[in-house]
Each structure stands twice: as C-alpha cells, then as structure tokens.
C-alpha cells in the first residue's frame, strides 16, 4: 500500500480515537465522601444532625483496658466482648440497636496479661431496626462502621457501651471499663464526579490533528496523481 494511503488511514484513526476520548468525558463515577459531624475524646456518646437519606458512620478507638479480662462466656466466638450501639432519632424516639462482637485476635488466645492487643470486629448484628434504614449485614472497615441511612431529618444520638463493663485492672482490682479514646460520628454523602473531563480537550486535539493530517495526506495524494498524469501526457 502506498505511503500516502497509510497517512490517510492514520489521520482517520486519530479522528476516531479523538471522538472516543471526547465522548468519554461525560462518564460519571459514584464516590462516597465522609464529613465529621461530632468528634469526642473519652466519651460513650456522640450526636449530630442528619437530613433524610444521609448515611451515618461511626469510628471508635479502643482504650487499653477493653482487652483486660475476665472474658465471660458470651457465645461464639470464645474470648469476645460486645459493643452495644444505640442510634436514636431524638424527635421520633425511634432507635436502631447494634451488637458489635469484638474478638480477641487468634494470636492472643488464650488472652493473658499484659493485654497488649486490640479487639477486632468479628461480626455486627442488628438487634432492633427502627431509627435507621440498615442493610441485612452492616459493613465495617477496621474500627469504622457503616451504621445505615437516616429515615428522616433530625438530631441523632449515638450511645455506646461495652459488655461486660467491668474489668480487672493492672492493680488486680475490678474497675469500670474506660470509654473510647475517640468516638467520631461521620456523615457519608454520595456524589457523582466526572473523572475523565480532561479527555474532552485532549480528544478535540486528536480530532483536529486527524482532520489536518487527513486533508494534507489527501492533497498530497492528489498532487502526486496530477504529476504522474503530466508525465504520462508528456511521454
């Protein structure tokens, strides 16, 4: 195939790629963004205002004594504790109750002093569904829990407590367990972004270059054809 024809094909290819890139700029992507609503230190309770259909998330940092014994038999898994989370809509008094099962890491079984480990979330059970729209199985990442979606706008109070609430301290005496070192209430909002908007000008540049290249190639091809015809006539 003559070199000029390859040039025309290349120009058409540039135009095609440019159109694909330019049309991709409108592709939308859903992302979840978190916003801190309430952040408290050494507290069992957080609260904040949520609009209807906004998502609630809760993050907690465990104090050292949450890992202290004793570990009564609370069922599966062995050597576990329960973090109870009560989410209440203050206006309607409707509430959702969660039971977060916190388990001792496998590498620390059986647990014994010094208790230098963090309890890991083993499972989350929805005991009562009232104040929030929850999924069949709440999701979590590390110590961050997706609680659910607000059924209506208003102030929501999140109260937590650990069971059992008494541990044996480092002085070998019973003591009341400490509240979370940090308890953070999040608002999770869903937004749609267009991550490929930069492809619009880039695609336009490809189209422009493809058109110019194709026109130049076509003109060059015509000029070559004319020169060939002139030579043939002269002969």
Average pLDDT on 110-123 reads 86
Does 221 have pLDDT greater than 50?
Answer: yes
Average pLDDT on 105-118 reads 84
- Answer for the pair 85, 97: CB distance below 8 angstroms, yes or no: yes
Average pLDDT on 70-83 reads 84
Q: What's the pLDDT tens digit per position in 27-64?
A: 777 777 778 999 999 999 999 999 988 999 999 999 99
Partners of residue 99 on adjacent β-strands: 84, 125
pLDDT for the residue 200 = 77
pLDDT for the residue 5 = 58
pLDDT for the residue 17 = 78
Does 223 have pLDDT greater than 90?
Answer: no
Q: What's the pLDDT tens digit per position in 163-183?
A: 999 998 888 899 999 999 999
Q: Rounded CA gap, 11 and 6, in Å? A: 9
128-137, 169-178, 185-194, 217-226: least confident range? 217-226
**Residue holding tokens 């062995």?**
78
Does 69 have pLDDT greater than 80?
Answer: yes
Q: Where are the beta strands (DSSP E) in 63-216?
A: 80-89, 95-103, 120-128, 132-133, 140-141, 144-150, 154-163, 166-168, 174-176, 182-193
Average pLDDT on 217-234 reads 60
Which of the pair, 9 or 202, is modelled with greater confidence? 202
Does 1 have pLDDT greater than 50?
Answer: no
3-state secondary structure 154-196: EEEEEEEEEECCEEECCCCCEEECCCCCEEEEEEEEEEEECCC
């Amino acid at each position: 195939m003559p070199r000029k024809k390859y040039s025309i094909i290349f120009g058409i290819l540039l135009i095609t790629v440019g159109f694909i890139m330019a049309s991709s700029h409108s592709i939308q992507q859903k992302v979840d963004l978190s916003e801190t609503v309430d952040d408290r230190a050494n507290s069992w309770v957080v609260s904040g205002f949520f609009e209807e259909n906004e998502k609630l998330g809760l993050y907690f940092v465990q104090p050292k004594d949450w890992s202290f014994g004793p570990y009564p038999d609370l069922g599966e898994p062995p050597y576990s504790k329960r973090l109870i989370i009560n989410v209440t809509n203050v206006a309607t008094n409707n509430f959702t109750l969660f039971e977060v099962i916190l388990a001792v890491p496998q590498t620390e079984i059986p647990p014994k002093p010094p208790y230098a480990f963090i309890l890991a979330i083993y499972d989350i059970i929805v005991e009562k569904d009232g104040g929030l729209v929850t999924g069949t199985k709440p999701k979590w990442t590390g110590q961050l829990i997706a609680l659910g979606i607000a059924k209506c706008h208003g102030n929501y109070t999140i109260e937590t407590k650990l069971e059992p609430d008494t541990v044996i301290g480092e002085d070998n005496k019973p003591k009341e367990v400490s509240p979370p070192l940090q308890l953070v209430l999040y608002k999770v909002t869903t937004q749609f972004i267009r991550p490929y908007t930069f492809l619009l000008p880039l695609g336009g540049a490809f189209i422009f270059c493809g058109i110019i290249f194709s026109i130049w190639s076509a003109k060059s091809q015509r000029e070559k054809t004319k020169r060939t015809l002139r030579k043939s006539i002269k002969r």
